[in-house]
Chain A
């Protein structure tokens, strides 16, 4: 081949990997995708990309992609390939049987942040309007539910206050519990660009991540805290701001509830949060806490970006509130260059949050208990809706173990691999009578499923994603769905089979329905996005093309003022002991994505073929470990085997691993503790010990399970 073959067609769409939501031109020859080129007009990425979106797209074509619906009466039976019609009829009859026998509330649904807004909305509609209960949750439960709660409490909106470009106006960038150059690489590149121009960088992370130090980018302050001490360290930073009077009094007086500010000052100003007290608790130099506080308060434009290192803790919501408090106290909200911003892990976590995939709220975070809101949905959907909030995902699993919860529709998730305390999840799955799994591939959860709907990848369907900066962009069908139906069509047909009549010509009509029922989305439509490329919510009569920066004049709370939450530090119950002397924390790396369903099916695995355990030299020596040795990692919850990597990235006392590979089962060891407010699991702190082992014990590998399943 002398020259590359020119692609024939291209379609502009949105990457389905992380929360950056890059615009891409998907180029095809025939029905084959031959290249993904970053779209220069994409407002989240401006023509840049990372290895995942740019190259790791071929998973859609993987040989083990399931292309026909499957059913079985028992999880011990082999799968039987059936027609779509038969699969819908079987799943519907099982759900109806279960509801007749165990009650309306014995069934629930879970949607995923990898689904489009339209699919997420339809799934909660299925639970509410068709199953007749509010047992609907989504995977943001296990990542960013504390963001929703914590930010709403302080600044009134559980979403990023800024657009990504805002960082190019920042003078001080504070990254808390996030590793953007690996987890959100395109945003990471923009951040590094600003740091090369002179912005200061503060990183709060137990691990010396690539963000802390890389070519032409080095953190001015790195607080390598002991896992689980976020709230302590943030309160201590607040302490310095209060005691040294670094706060922005004018902003607080004009924009915040002053009485609450005074209460907060009294709390964090207490001696117990002095850097000299907190330093030893968090294992950092008190002088660094002071430097961080002075840098942040000094601005002039300081901005906060944070990730799951803040939320996935027993005090996850408190940690988020600390960040809201900091932003308010220093007046770092309401203009470009500042703000408090969650970095969302998956492509549509924000959409999952916005669109009512929660047991207690409809789209726009309006409570199911509110009669007026419920009436508007009842009028649109033509049914009476349950006024009682439903079960959260962890509660559904608990109820399944207890025997009162018997069926579940799981769309695009793999809870057995991704949820905490795997043994408990498996026990719950085994206790259910009908688990309907809607996914691209058989996975860990499918081992316990009775019906499998073969879904469509994001390259095979239409819809929209809402990225981490509230930007709604179009997902456009590049090729025909391999299994015949787009995901939204599957959900609609399943609703039909359950006896609910509805039809849409295209998902644009679902977005129209979302717009009619959700104030922040009221101006959104396929037509608008086609015309201007993308739009950030709120998008409505007052902001017909969307809103880049929130909170410019007031906060979306009843009185328009921001407020301060009291954020007392309460150490997690998960503590080290003689038996489990190390703290395990988890994270992700550049080339793999989440539980790896997509990226493990691409050559990305060349870079990261397995999960390894990072351990400091001191801890390794004490255990007679050498680089590459197999180790057993044990916690109170379980044990796994993986290889050790001796690393300076983690401090003594801390070990780190990723959860990208099913076979390493990292979540078999994570604890069952969770955020006090939202049940978001405490993935980031587990007391463990590490022991050298001779060779890996036989573990049931993903590949073996897959072969077994397809045989």
Chain B
């Protein structure tokens, strides 16, 4: 605990909180990396400068394992585990890049992209936008006109930030920031599957909810669905 809030670097997102523990060495993409026991593979990779793409992970929050973008391959193990929820082990050999991983990541990112307002892609600079760029995902194979969230209403009740659910990728980072970092528990995910959405209190506007406007959710949001109003000139409208 003591260690987990310390040692965060402003210019590096380790993906999961640092841990205290005896040193453990592993190999990531052929590079030997030593980190405290209890650390995630994602943290080990980031601290060696081998950042693994991710959306639902950030180092102020415990790992969640929902976005499936940070998948890796581990020698001797089946499948493609999420690097954020996989703790390091002595002698572990990890691959962060392979043809299969690229295919899987592009598949997942394409799904996210298919339900993201198309006109909001150009010029975007959120973590989501940057991840799409870095992974070279510019299109998705799905037909237009399928089920989507494009008509969801913007909640601009709070004077300082707005919530645009059309840009929400339901990674839960806001919900977890409200709980873990701020300790207010004002946010939750309501519904299941495609119906899942972020809501404040009992599905109330942010201003009327228990939200204390600490900004932790806005800071945690990877897709500018929760975003400071001060970053816009004039009214907030979809392109």
Contact = CB atoms under 8 A, between A and B. Distances in A.
Nearest to A602: B159
A337 to B, nearest CB: 9
A50 interface: yes
B231 A34 contact: yes
B2 A165 contact: yes
Contact of A165 (B5, B60, B231): B5
Interface stretch (B85-93, B142-150, B177-185): B177-185
Contacts of A39: 10
A701 B184 CA distance: 35
Contacts of A50: 212, 214
Nearest to A55: B160
Interface in A372-390: none
Contact of A1 (B5, B210, B212, B236): B236
Contacts of B5: 46, 165, 168, 190
B123 interface: yes
A12 to B, nearest CB: 8
Interface string B123-138: 1110000000000000
A46 B185 contact: no
A40 B1 contact: no
B6 A49 contact: no
B8 A40 contact: yes
Contact of A55 (B2, B122, B213, B233): B213
Contact of A215 (B125, B183, B207): B183
Interface in A494-515: none
Interface string A103-135: 000000000000000000000000000000000
B207 A196 contact: no
A523 B233 CA distance: 45
A215 B212 CA distance: 13
Interface stretch (B34-42, B46-54, B222-230): B222-230
B123 A2 contact: yes
Interface in A1-57: 1-7, 25, 34-35, 37-41, 43, 46-51, 54-55
B31 interface: no
B1 to A, nearest CB: 5
B215 A47 contact: no
A40 B9 contact: yes
- Chain B binding surface SS class: loop
A40 B214 contact: no
A43 to B, nearest CB: 8
Given A1-B236, A4-B231, A606-B207, A197 B1 contact: yes
Given A48-B182, A50-B212, A38 B238 contact: no
Best-buried of A34, A336, A591 by chain B (most CB within 10 Å): A34
**Size class of the contact patch on chain A:** 35 or more
Given A3-B120, A55-B160, A168-B1, A47 B183 contact: no
Interface in A52-75: 54-55, 58
**Size class of the contact patch on chain B:** 35 or more
A217 interface: yes
Given A41-B10, A51-B213, A51-B214, A217 B183 contact: yes
A606 B211 CA distance: 13
Nearest to B235: A1
B161 to A, nearest CB: 8
Nearest to A336: B2
A603 B207 CA distance: 12
Contacts of B216: 48-49
Contacts of A551: none
B239 interface: yes
A454 to B, nearest CB: 25
A566 interface: no
A43 B6 CA distance: 7
A165 B185 contact: no
Contacts of B224: 3-4
A491 to B, nearest CB: 32
A49 B215 contact: yes
Interface string A605-628: 011000000000000000000000
Best-buried of A2, A49, A190 by chain B (most CB within 10 Å): A2
B215 A38 contact: yes
B120 A51 contact: no
A165 B20 CA distance: 15
A40 B61 CA distance: 12
Best-buried of B59, B180, B219 by chain A (most CB within 10 Å): B219
Given A54-B214, A603-B160, A606-B159, A4 B227 contact: yes
A550 to B, nearest CB: 18
Given A2-B119, A2-B122, A7-B231, A51 B185 contact: no
A4 B239 CA distance: 12
Nearest to A57: B230
A43 B7 CA distance: 9
Given A168-B5, A217-B183, A603-B159, A2 B120 contact: yes
Contacts of B239: 1-3
Nearest to B161: A55
A193 B180 contact: yes
Contacts of B231: 4-7, 34-35
B232 interface: yes
Best-buried of A4, A43, A196, A607 by chain B (most CB within 10 Å): A4
Contacts of B79: none
Contact of B228 (A3, A35, A196, A591): A35
Contact of B219 (A38, A188, A590, A607): A38
Given A5-B232, A5-B233, A40-B8, A48 B2 contact: no
Best-buried of B183, B219, B232 by chain A (most CB within 10 Å): B183
A590 B211 CA distance: 12
Interface in A232-285: none
A558 to B, nearest CB: 34
Best-buried of A38, A40, A43 by chain B (most CB within 10 Å): A40
Given A48-B181, A49-B216, A4 B10 contact: no
Contacts of B59: 40
Contacts of A25: 10
Contacts of A342: none
Contacts of A185: 212, 214
Interface in B153-186: 159-161, 180-185
B141 interface: no
B224 to A, nearest CB: 6
A192 interface: yes
A336 to B, nearest CB: 8
Interface in A310-352: 336
A58 B219 CA distance: 19
Contacts of A192: 183
B237 interface: yes
A58 B160 CA distance: 11
Nearest to A45: B5
B234 interface: yes
Interface in B67-104: none
Interface string A637-681: 000000000000000000000000000000000000000000000
A336 B231 CA distance: 41
Nearest to A197: B1
B185 A215 contact: yes
A101 interface: no
Nearest to B1: A168
A189 interface: yes
A478 to B, nearest CB: 14
3 smallest beta-carbon distances between A and B, as pairs: A2-B239, A603-B159, A4-B231
9 contacts: A4-B228, A6-B231, A49-B216, A50-B214, A51-B215, A54-B213, A55-B215, A215-B210, A336-B2
Interface of A: 1-7, 25, 34-35, 37-41, 43, 46-51, 54-55, 58, 165, 168-169, 185, 188-190, 192-194, 196-197, 214-217, 336, 590-591, 603, 606-607
Given A1-B232, A1-B236, A185-B212, 10 more contacts: A2-B122, A5-B232, A34-B231, A35-B230, A41-B8, A46-B8, A49-B215, A168-B5, A215-B184, A607-B213
